[in-house]
Amino acid sequence: MLLMHLIRKRVVRPLVDAKNLVVSLAEGNLDANIPRSRHADEVGGMMRALQVLRARIMERNSLAREREELITQLQASSNTDFLTGVWNRRAFYTHAQQQMAVAQRYQRDLAIVMFDIDWFKRINDEYGHLAGDEILRGVAQTVQQLLRKVDVLARYGGEEFIVLLPESDLQNGMAVAQKLREALEQKSFVVDGGQELRVTASFGVAASVGQQALEQLIKLADEALYTAKDQGRNRVEMAVE
């Protein structure tokens, strides 16, 4: 009886515990308690091996998380304009193509707003490029705060920005552009040295009709933008096909 008790205590129970621990580790339960054996026998060696196995699994999971975080950071940096923090042109095109396909498939409205900071070269020439950078960041932040979560703002190039407005027709796009124009006109931007500057912007708006390609819609918005600049700047113009 004593021998049976010892076998059950020293062999059978540890083997059952080890089996349960292996199953638990396989299911991802890394908090399972692995007892430390006081004996330098096969069962003790198996428990030590399970401790090593758990440590290796935790290391592997940690490396996998770090890799995923790094991939996410790289994707975000590749999609983001380094100066303003909004999307860059490439990321905008990728997203806008998808939204355009959805709008056309389900016959939904979609509008694009393009705008350009008026007389931006004068700011760089008179106050320096650092001041120009501050203006670009300030304009992007001001506009971003006035958009919906579904809207997308991107820096198109230089001092030119583009906005994607899902579920918006031409009139809605015009209203949004007018709201943005007024907000920028009323905003004071503090640049390096504490000096306050005011800027205005010109806007062009186009909306999706039928099966237009994204490039055609952007071209229409861009043409409307240049009409706004030709008409005196600090104004909103709609596309004319």
Exposure string for 131-149, b = 16+ CB within 10 A, e = fewer: bbebbbbbbbebbeeebee
Q: Is 159 a catalytic residue?
A: yes
Of 210, 238, 236, 212, nearest in space to 96 by CA: 212
Residue 114 confidence (pLDDT) above 90 = yes
Residue 30 confidence (pLDDT) above 80 = no
Determine contact, residues 84/138, Cβ cutoff 8 Å.
no
Q: How far apart are the first and last CA of the chain?
A: 98
pLDDT value for 221: 97
Residue with the bigger pLDDT between 15 and 39: it is: 15
Residue with the bigger pLDDT between 42 and 237: it is: 237
Residue 203: both structure tokens together: 């806007």
E strand intervals along 123-238: 152-157, 160-166, 188-190, 196-198, 201-207, 236-238
Q: Which of 27, 59, 69, 159 is catalytic?
A: 159
Q: Which of 72-81, 109-118, 177-186 has the lowest mean pLDDT?
A: 72-81
One-letter amino acid at 126 equals E
Cβ contacts of 180 within 8 Å, gap of 6 or more: 113, 115, 143, 146, 163, 201, 203
Mean pLDDT over residues 74-87, rounded? 81
- Sketch out the chain's domains with CATH numbers: 2-79 (1.10.8.500), 89-238 (3.30.70.270)
Query: Can you state the angle between helices 120-127 and 129-146, rounded to 10 degrees?
Result: 140
Mean pLDDT over residues 138-158, rounded? 96
State the Rg of the chain over Cα.
31
Cβ contacts of 36 within 8 Å, gap of 6 or more: 47, 48, 51
Q: Which of 25-39, 152-166, 218-232 has the lowest mean pLDDT?
A: 25-39
pLDDT value for 77: 61
- Indicate the length of the chain as a whole number: 241
Identify how many contiguous H helices and E strands the chain contains and give both numbers.
8, 7
Residue with the bigger pLDDT between 209 and 89: it is: 89
Of 177, 172, 155, 153, nearest in space to 163 by CA: 153
pLDDT value for 27: 63
Note if the pTM is more than 0.85.
no
Helix, strand, coil percentages (3-state) for the chain, rounded to 5, are: 60, 15, 25
Task: Tell me the pLDDT tens digit for each residue of 200-216.
Answer: 999 999 999 877 899 99
